[in-house]
Amino acid sequence: MADTKLTLTIAGNDASGGAGIAADLKTFAEYGTYGIAALTTIAMMDPDNNWKHNVTPIDAEVVRGQLKTATAGPKIAALKTGMLPNVPVIEVIAETIREHSLENVVIDPVMVCKGEDEVLNPENANALRDILTPLATVATPNLFEAGQLSGLGTLKNLDDMKKAAKIIHESGAQNVVIKGGKALDGNKAIDLFYDGNEFTVLETEKIEPATNHGAGCTFAAAITAGLARGLAPKEAVLKAKEFVTEAIRSGFEYNQFVGSVFHSGYRLSKQESI
Ligand code: PXL
């Protein structure tokens, strides 16, 4: 029998398939792990209204029920959280992680979707910091989220990112990746890894056009699956950066509003075409 590694995502659905549970499950499969999912939100983007986002929450007790199902199988090798609608859902997740002593926990503290600058739910930011960040093996905020979690506000350069990473580590995350991506000025996509001892800067050329809807979820999901496969946090992050870079490179224009990553890009780039 194969040594099947279960990977769980607790996240929202993006019906365009680039971000959310679709991104996570596809990434988990690319890594050869067995993906399972508990749904927390349904995100809708309206093509008739400039791709405006609208988020429907799933009731916390329904999330609890799904997590009961998800934890009723073999031991979960790693899990990630994504878009979480409110504090009760965040609390249910923290209780489940504790009750089942779940390990390899990746907290992707989703606060905004790309192109939207309204924070999903302001009190969520504090709950993510106080309740979930202390349980994180790896926390994976983007630049905006790292500014919020650290209380430093807008992060403008690598030095700011380092300060934020330290503060988030002090909040209890064992390792922190700040997904700067293409957000900083200049021609490099820069992410920062911090394990409490040393900083590692992950740098690639920016890819144009930036077909990167779903890149943040995919990056975090790849880290999760890497941990499930037994990689140490830093190795998992380095591999995930390669994985997400290929996913962006092989992305495509979904419509006039967004370009999406293609989660199979890494495998396809290594594979001869038939
Ligand atoms: O990229 C953040 C994100 C996470 N989860 C869901 C989303 C999005 C952005 O669109 O829809 C479900």
Q: Is 12 in the pocket of ligand 1 (CB under 6 A)?
A: yes
pLDDT of residue 157: 95
Amino acid identity of 261? Answer: V
Structure tokens at 137: 């093996």
Taking only the tens place, the pLDDT of each residue in 152-179 is 999 999 999 999 999 999 999 999 999 9
Q: Is 251 in the pocket of ligand 1 (CB under 6 A)?
A: no
* CB of 57 sitting under 6 A from ligand 1: no
Q: Whose Cα sits closest to atom 4 in ligand 1?
A: 20
pLDDT of residue 210: 86
Query: Looking at residue 123, what is its pLDDT?
Result: 85
Q: Can you list the residues of the chain whose pLDDT is less than 50?
A: 115
* pLDDT for the residue 114: 59
Q: Please tell me the predicted confidence (pLDDT) of residue 121.
A: 72
Query: What is residue 181's predicted lDDT score, i.e. its pLDDT?
Result: 87
Q: Whose CA is nearest to atom 6 of ligand 1?
A: 20
Q: Flag whether the pTM goes above 0.85.
A: yes
In order of start, what are the domains of the chain with their CATH numbers?
6-270 (3.40.1190.20)
Spell out the SS3 assignment of the chain.
Answer: CCCCCEEEEEEEEECCCCCHHHHHHHHHHHCCCEEEEEEEEEEEEEHHHCCEEEEEECCHHHHHHHHHHHCCCCCEEEEEECCCCCHHHHHHHHHHHHHCCCCCEEECCCCCCCCCCCCCCHHHHHHHHHHHHHHCCEECCEHHHHHHHHCCCCCCCHHHHHHHHHHHHHCCCCEEEEECCCCCCCCEEEEEEECCCCEEEEEEECCCCCCCECHHHHHHHHHHHHHHCCCCHHHHHHHHHHHHHHHHHCCEECCCCCEECCCCHHHHHHCCCC
What are the pLDDT digits (tens) for 40-77? 999 999 999 999 999 999 999 999 999 999 999 999 99
Closest-CA residue, ligand 1 atom 11, reads 14
Residue 119 has a pLDDT of 58
User: Which amino acid is it at 142?
Assistant: N
Predicted confidence at residue 209, as pLDDT, reads 87
Residue-level pLDDT at 199: 98
